[in-house]
Chain A
Amino acid sequence: MNATVTVPEKSGLAGLNPLSKIAAVLPAMLFVALTTDVWSPLAIAGLALVVLMGVGRISPMRLARALGPVALVVLGFLLLYPLVVRRELVAGTPVFLDLGWAVIHEAALELGLTAGLRIFAFVALTMIFNLTTDAHDFARALVQQARVPYRVGYAAMAALRFAPLLRHELSVIRAAHRLRGLGEAGSLRDRLDMLWRTAVPLLASAIRRAERAALAMDGRAFGAYPTRTHLRRMTFTGRDVAFVAGFWLLTALLVIALAQLGLLGPLAFVQRV
């Protein structure tokens, strides 16, 4: 028997195999990890945003919500990284700000901006995967294309199904605590106590549910055969090849353009000083 359900055709990035989205962004991520200048991460982040809005049809509002917290991280790096930078690295450059207890040099500011932008570019690249991929599809692709043992993949998928159950359980436990007059959180100690009192019953009930599910699965001969059939088939088609090749090409062109314009700084995993 080889019955499969036809999955409704998804458009744009959502229709691609999750693994091809990861393969597409990996070289760009490696490049970002190696950069030491401001412009390269900025350009890569720009590429990711253009692909997300152009190919993925993600609305700018949704993008802003997803990347907002990370933009704050960049700001934080810009403000605080200069305070921990080694002084002899930046001592030769003009002073940007003298606070009395700390002097901020222009080079230190630039280093902070680069560190922050690198993280921003990383996250922008992963959004190509995140905003367009269902975690179940990812687990399916891992089993069907990446040859992960299906017992492992299906255990992970079963765990995903537990998410709403466990969140419900969490609210029930909290309600039970409030009923006994334990709900009001005050000091940090109270909060930690509460986290502990919530964690123990949540973990206990999660494990009991897992054992029941495992018995049910064993009862249906889960894992009895080395291979199995799949209800939903993940595919790896010409569209995936085109997307991966296209993204690699765009990344390469961007790197060449940066080098031609003289904006590309030295590349290094560990920066020599």
Chain B
Amino acid sequence: MQLNSVDQPTLKRAARSRWSTRELLTAAVLAMAFAVLLVPFTYLYAAVLSLGILARSALTGLFFMPAAFAAYTLRKPGAVIFVSLVSGLVAIPFTPYGLLVLGIGALTGAIGEAACWLVTRYRHFSLARIVGLSFVAGLVEFLLVLFSLRVSQIEPLILVAAIALSVLGFVVVGVVARLLADAVARTGALNNTALGRERERYV
């Protein structure tokens, strides 16, 4: 073992990017728990999708919840995209959309992961950073998804309102996910995650 010859920062970086079985399982089951909680909303989503672009924009952020929760608690490269993909995978049998949910999960995950890397560098998770992360994710997601809904056909005023609603939805969900993670951390269940370890330092 040449463990002694490795300097501390390298070790820390390795610990950040390597996934233990515990972390893998925690992330996957988190995704499942959110799927159980959010599946009723996919039916609501199906109903409001027909109510037009504004209602849709307001609700899209909900599917960012598992990603934001994972980003804040696990703080690992790949956590956001993994949790989003698994929550899409496990939701397939229960939603009216099926495979499309996996596509949305992949998209939200990839955007969330990039935004997380950009805003937090997997290290800094203050409230302001979470707001920034959600803001970026919401904006990019809107631009990508709504292009497929033929944005150029829609009245500019309604479009601006839709962007605002969509970004606001993401930010609210990001903040709620942070509050939720703190509430769960108080139960002690998250003691083995990055969030739990950070909290321990302050106790």
Q: Chain A: residues with CB nearer than 8 A to chain B?
A: 22, 33, 36, 66, 69-70, 72-77, 79-81, 83-87, 89, 111, 115-116, 119, 122-123, 126-127, 129-130, 135, 138-139, 151-152, 155-156, 158-160, 162-163, 166-167, 170, 195-196, 198-211, 213-215, 217-218, 222-223, 269-273
Q: Which residue of A lies closest to B85 (CB)?
A: A156
8 smallest CB-CB distances across A and B, nearest first, come from: A76-B50, A130-B98, A159-B28, A126-B99, A210-B29, A204-B189, A155-B24, A214-B25
Asked if A170 and B36 sit within 8 Å, CB to CB, the answer is yes
Query: Measured between alpha carbons, how far is A129 from B103 in the docked complex, in Å?
Result: 13
Question: Is B10 located at the chain interface by the 8 A CB criterion?
Answer: no
One of A200, A269, A271 near B184 (C-beta < 8 A)? A200
A-B contact count (CB 8 A): 190
Kindly provide the distance from the CB of B13 to the nearest chain A CB, expressed in whole angstroms: 20
Asked if B19 and A135 sit within 8 Å, CB to CB, the answer is no
Asked if B46 and A69 sit within 8 Å, CB to CB, the answer is yes
Asked if B26 and A210 sit within 8 Å, CB to CB, the answer is yes
Q: A156-B85, A273-B153 are in contact. List 5 more A-B contacts (CB 8 A).
A: A85-B153, A123-B96, A155-B28, A166-B36, A211-B25
Asked if A156 and B149 sit within 8 Å, CB to CB, the answer is no
Asked if A159 and B43 sit within 8 Å, CB to CB, the answer is no
- Ordered by A's residue number, 18 sampled pairs between the chains whose C-beta atoms are within 8 Å are A69-B96, A70-B97, A75-B50, A84-B53, A85-B153, A115-B149, A135-B93, A159-B86, A166-B32, A203-B180, A204-B189, A210-B22, A210-B25, A211-B192, A214-B26, A270-B147, A272-B152, A273-B152
Q: Chain B: residues with CB nearer than 8 A to chain A?
A: 19-22, 24-33, 35-37, 43, 46-47, 49-53, 82, 85-86, 89-90, 92-93, 96-100, 147-156, 158, 180, 183-184, 187-190, 192
One of A76, A151, A205 near B49 (C-beta < 8 A)? A76
Query: Measured between alpha carbons, how far is A75 from B147 in the docked complex, in Å?
Result: 21
Asked if A218 and B21 sit within 8 Å, CB to CB, the answer is yes
- Chain B CB within 10 Å, residue with most, of A167, A170, A207: A207
Q: Which secondary structure dominates where chain A touches chain B?
A: helix
- Chain A CB within 10 Å, residue with most, of B53, B92, B99: B99
Q: Which residue of B lies closest to A33 (CB)?
A: B148
Kindly provide the distance from the CB of B85 to the nearest chain A CB, expressed in whole angstroms: 8
Asked if B82 and A152 sit within 8 Å, CB to CB, the answer is yes
Query: Measured between alpha carbons, how far is A273 from B99 in the docked complex, in Å?
Result: 32
Q: Which secondary structure dominates where chain B touches chain A?
A: helix
- Chain B CB within 10 Å, residue with most, of A115, A116, A155, A195: A155
One of A151, A198, A203 near B24 (C-beta < 8 A)? A151
Asked if A151 and B19 sit within 8 Å, CB to CB, the answer is yes
With a cutoff of 8 Å between Cβ atoms, the chain B residues found around residue A269 in the complex are: 147-148
Query: Measured between alpha carbons, how far is A53 from B9 in the docked complex, in Å?
Result: 59
Asked if A156 and B86 sit within 8 Å, CB to CB, the answer is yes
- Chain B CB within 10 Å, residue with most, of A79, A139, A159, A270: A159
With a cutoff of 8 Å between Cβ atoms, the chain B residues found around residue A213 in the complex are: 25, 29
Kindly provide the distance from the CB of B69 to the nearest chain A CB, expressed in whole angstroms: 8
Kindly provide the distance from the CB of B190 to the nearest chain A CB, expressed in whole angstroms: 6
Asked if A163 and B90 sit within 8 Å, CB to CB, the answer is yes
Given A135-B89, A209-B29, A271-B152, also A214-B43 (CB < 8 A): no
Q: Which residue of B lies closest to A72 (CB)?
A: B50
Asked if B28 and A210 sit within 8 Å, CB to CB, the answer is yes
Query: Measured between alpha carbons, how far is A204 from B89 in the docked complex, in Å?
Result: 22
One of A70, A80, A84, A196 near B96 (C-beta < 8 A)? A70
With a cutoff of 8 Å between Cβ atoms, the chain A residues found around residue B82 in the complex are: 152
Given A87-B155, A151-B19, also A123-B192 (CB < 8 A): no
Q: Which residue of B lies closest to A206 (CB)?
A: B33
